[in-house]
């Protein structure tokens, strides 16, 4: 008997709702949208579900304030938390969002013990660690979303400078999801051609800096955190896991000796498939890149050390 995948999205704010809508449009499975706000997840889910006949979709979208309808989900997407406001760093969100993430993941994981968890809530590196502790899941089944988003911004800005289609640019970002992230210019290409051959160093340096502050740029313009690109990033990761695609995707993964780091979640290239993180890929660094990555990892460890997990 054929059974559709079941996806739970926790948090029905702008990012959660956008993610749920994108997942519905991709027809990846039935969706449960959960939020503490009465009527909000129910209303947004109903609105999405009513679009299904128009879009030619066969899935079901359900909204709920409790977790019972989420039971036996294949994947849990965590977007719940306080959004970042102008003037607020990701670290300012740390304690309040850690409490939120721990509580929602603990509830959802008990009902879906075989699921894979994808965490977006900021600071995403730390929240992935919190989610793993709350769930008790193997590390490979808890993943943070940041690398896809940061890399997409990097690729977009490179495409703009080169005046080419963004889809033809391949590039990735490593390290923490913050101002110390490491966009790797040396591994960036357009149509197989190294971007270093096509753009001057000062242009590339400016693009790297814009990538590092990409979230803040959106925040400053519309006075709230981004949600379209984050939603697309989550949908890409969910699709890779549910369809066992073994996609090479930059994601926040647990390191157990890779890159000389232990007991930390941080952004690295990875293979995502049906088990979650199938493998962490290690790339060679120059001395400067290694130093930048070490600095970025340290910026993740600092807030992590403030939590008792």
What domains appear along the chain, each with residue ranges and CATH number? Answer: 6-144 (3.40.50.720), 147-304 (3.90.110.10)
In sequence order, which ranges of 35-146 are alpha helices (DSSP H)?
40-55, 94-111, 124-135
Whether pLDDT at 86 is above 80: no
pLDDT of residue 249: 94
pLDDT of residue 303: 85
pLDDT band at residue 1 using 50, 70 and 90 as cut-offs = low
74, two tokens:
């294949």
pLDDT of residue 259: 96
What are the pLDDT digits (tens) for 205-253?
999 999 999 999 999 999 988 999 999 999 999 999 999 999 999 999 9
Is 13 within any annotated ligand binding site? yes
Whether pLDDT at 102 is above 70: yes
Angle formed by the axes of helices 147-162 and 201-212, nearest 10°: 150
pLDDT band at residue 91 using 50, 70 and 90 as cut-offs = low
Least confident of 42-56, 163-177, 233-247, 295-309: 295-309
pLDDT of residue 90: 59
Residue 198 exposure: Cα atoms within 13 Å on the Cβ side: 18
Please give the mean pLDDT across all residues of the chain. Answer: 94
Q: Judge whether 177 counts as a catalytic residue.
A: yes
Q: Which of 145, 110, 152 is nearest to 128 (CA)?
A: 145
Task: Confirm if 70 and 108 have CB atoms less than 8 A apart.
Answer: yes
Tokens 């948090």 locate to: 11
pLDDT band at residue 2 using 50, 70 and 90 as cut-offs = low
Is 122 within any annotated ligand binding site? yes
Is 97 within any annotated ligand binding site? yes
Give the separation between CA 24 and CA 47, rounded to whole angstroms. Answer: 12
pLDDT of residue 150: 93
- Confidence (pTM): 0.94
Give the separation between CA 278 and CA 54, rounded to whole angstroms. Answer: 37
Whether pLDDT at 195 is above 90: yes
pLDDT band at residue 3 using 50, 70 and 90 as cut-offs = confident
Tokens 């549910």 locate to: 242
Tell me the percentage of the chain whose pLDDT exceeds 90: 86
Tell me the percentage of the chain whose pLDDT exceeds 70: 96
What are the pLDDT digits (tens) for 145-161?
989 999 999 999 999 99
177, two tokens:
């999801």
Residues 6+ apart with CB under 8 A from 2: none
Give the separation between CA 277 and CA 270, rounded to whole angstroms. Answer: 7
Which is the catalytic residue, given 5, 21, 140, 177?
Answer: 177
In sequence order, which ranges of 146-274 are alpha helices (DSSP H)?
147-162, 201-212, 214-222, 228-242
What are the pLDDT digits (tens) for 253-302?
999 999 999 999 999 999 999 999 999 999 999 999 999 999 999 999 98
Whether pLDDT at 183 is above 80: yes
Give the separation between CA 286 and CA 263, rounded to whole angstroms. Answer: 24
Is 229 within any annotated ligand binding site? no
Peptide linkage before 227 cis (omega within 30 of 0): no
CA distances from 89 to 3, 105, 159, 303 (A): 42, 23, 28, 12
Give the separation between CA 24 and CA 37, rounded to whole angstroms. Answer: 21
pLDDT of residue 96: 86
């Amino acid at each position: 008997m054929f059974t559709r995948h079941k996806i739970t999205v926790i948090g029905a704010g702008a990012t959660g709702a956008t993610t749920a809508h994108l997942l519905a449009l991709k027809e990846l499975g039935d969706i449960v949208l959960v939020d503490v706000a009465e009527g909000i997840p129910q209303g947004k889910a109903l609105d999405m579900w009513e679009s299904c006949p128009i879009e030619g979709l066969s899935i079901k979208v359900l909204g709920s304030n409790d977790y019972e309808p989420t039971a036996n989900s294949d994947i849990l997407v965590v977007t719940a938390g306080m959004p970042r406001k102008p003037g607020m760093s990701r670290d300012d969100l740390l304690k309040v969002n850690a409490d939120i993430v721990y509580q929602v993941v603990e509830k959802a994981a008990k009902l879906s013990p075989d699921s894979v968890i994808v965490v977006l809530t900021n600071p995403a590196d730390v929240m992935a660690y919190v989610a793993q502790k709350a769930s008790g899941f193997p590390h490979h089944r808890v993943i943070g979303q940041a690398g896809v988003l940061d890399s997409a911004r990097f690729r977009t800005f490179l495409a703009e400078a080169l005046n080419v289609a963004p889809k033809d640019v391949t590039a990735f970002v490593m390290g923490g999801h913050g101002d110390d992230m490491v966009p790797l210019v040396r591994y960036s290409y357009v149509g197989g051609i190294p971007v270093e051959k096509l753009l001057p160093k000062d242009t590339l340096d400016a693009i790297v800096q814009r990538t590092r502050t990409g979230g803040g740029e959106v925040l400053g313009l519309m006075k709230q955190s981004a949600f379209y690109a984050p939603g697309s990033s989550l949908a890409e990761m969910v699709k890779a896991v549910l369809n066992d695609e073994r996609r090479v995707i930059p994601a926040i993964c647990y390191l157990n000796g890779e890159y000389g780091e232990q007991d930390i979640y941080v952004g690295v290239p990875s293979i995502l498939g049906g088990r979650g993180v199938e493998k962490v890929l290690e790339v060679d660094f120059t001395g400067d890149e290694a130093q930048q990555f070490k600095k970025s990892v340290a910026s993740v460890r600092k807030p992590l050390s403030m939590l008792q997990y």
